[in-house]
Amino acid sequence: MSKKQVVKTRTNKKLELERKRDEKAARRALAKERKNRSQGGAEDEEFVSFANQLLAMGLKLREVPGDGNCLFRALGDQLEGNSRNHLKHRRETVDFMIKHRQDFEPFVEDDVPFDRYVTNLEKPGTFVGNDVIVAFARNNQVNIVIHQLNAPLWQVFGTRKSNAAELHIAYRYGEHYDSVRKVNDNSEASANLKTEDTDVIVQNLEFENYNIETAIVATLQIGDLKNSNSIEDSNKNCSNCSPPHMSSLWIENGSGNRIFGNQGLNPEEIENNRTFSQKEENKRNKNKVTSKQRKEQIRIEKKKRQEERHRQKVLDSRSNNLEELTTDGNLQPPVTLVKTFATLNI
């Protein structure tokens, strides 16, 4: 073994020893935090409330110790499935800030010189601010989503690419970050979460005067419309295909008409819509159902949708072993969509 290889081996062993010491200290710190929380009142209530808020979205907290490295630990867990490389992420983020000094120097507070500021940031255990989150996002070309208790999500954009990875972290107690994971995700793999646009749901609630039952029906109709687009495109030359204005979605007061407009229909088609609307109204008047019957119908529809989602999850889990291979042959884990009604973007 050459002298250079010997030095490299010794360096690697030293780094590995430091990493193990760091992880032992982190585990002790996390155990101490949990013990203190179990004995305290306010913090425990905050933790339970936050956990319930995430649970409603199918998510959970993966805690990291509050040792001053929590942000880099949480982001590392999102990227790599563990928090062991937090020192590397800190160093790379500070290097990015130094290289792009003109973007970050104006935001340094308390008249601290920039060189001294970044020197302190590079030290393990130093708490960091929002500027570091922006630098991390840009350096890694990812978008960071920050969950807070009873508040909209914060989205920090490091890139505007449509296929960019999202890293979900939770900001708690006004000073601490944890990683956010899917409920049953106990793996050491990247989290692969993705926020899902729910604007259509909000629009439907507004159109239906916040009547939840009718808003559900309208949302399902829009979903059916999107699913049928591909079939309609493939059969657009078929003589037996029904024209779009014959669908109840496009009647004069239909959900599709209200959300998307007349979609460029000519006067004759609009008149046909009105005629069809009158027929539909007459049909509804003949087949009016009681509130109890309507609730029962919605319950049955909800049960069918749950069964279909369960069936789809089973199919997806089977297909995941065969699909989405990366270029180096490793399996790409599936992305979990996270529904949200309100976000604030940086």
pLDDT tens, position by position, 237-269: 544 444 444 444 444 555 444 444 444 455 665
Question: 45 and 153 share a domain?
Answer: yes
Looking at per-residue pLDDT, the higher value among 251 and 114 belongs to 114
Question: 235 and 207 share a domain?
Answer: yes
Question: 158 and 254 share a domain?
Answer: no
> Active site includes 176?
yes
Question: 70 and 186 share a domain?
Answer: yes
pLDDT of residue 288: 57
Question: 234 and 179 share a domain?
Answer: no
**Is 299 inside any structural domain?**
no
- The rounded Cα 302 to chain-centroid distance in angstroms is 24
> Active site includes 67?
yes
**Is 307 inside any structural domain?**
no
Q: What is the DSSP letter of 105?
A: G
**Is 302 inside any structural domain?**
no
Question: 92 and 183 share a domain?
Answer: yes
Question: 116 and 67 share a domain?
Answer: yes
Question: 96 and 221 share a domain?
Answer: no
Q: How many domains does the chain have?
A: 2
**Is 215 inside any structural domain?**
yes
Amino acid letter, 278 = Q
Question: 31 and 140 share a domain?
Answer: yes
Q: Per-residue pLDDT for 182 more than 70? A: yes
Q: Per-residue pLDDT for 109 more than 90? A: no
Q: Calculate the average pLDDT of the chain.
A: 75
- The reported pTM is 0.56
CB atoms < 10 A from the CB of 208, how many?
18
Structure tokens that stand for 211 in this block: 């009547």
**Is 327 inside any structural domain?**
no
pLDDT of residue 2: 73
CATH number at 168 reads 3.90.70.80
Domain of 277? Answer: 199-288
pLDDT mean over 108-125: 94
Question: 52 and 139 share a domain?
Answer: yes
> Active site includes 197?
no
Cβ contact 289:283 at 8 Å:
no
Strand 176-182 vs strand 59-62: parallel, antiparallel, or unpaired?
A: antiparallel
Question: 156 and 190 share a domain?
Answer: yes
Packed helices 70-80 and 86-99: angle between N→C axes, nearest 10 degrees: 100
| Low-confidence winner among 11-15, 68-72, 77-81, 262-266 (lowest mean pLDDT) | 262-266
Annotated catalytic residue, options 22, 95, 103, 176: 176
pLDDT of residue 244: 41
Annotated catalytic residue, options 22, 67, 86, 111: 67
Question: 163 and 231 share a domain?
Answer: no
Alpha-carbon distances, residue 37 vs 24, 53, 94, 125 (angstroms): 20, 18, 32, 21
With cut-offs at 50, 70 and 90, classify the pLDDT of residue 292: confident
**Is 325 inside any structural domain?**
no
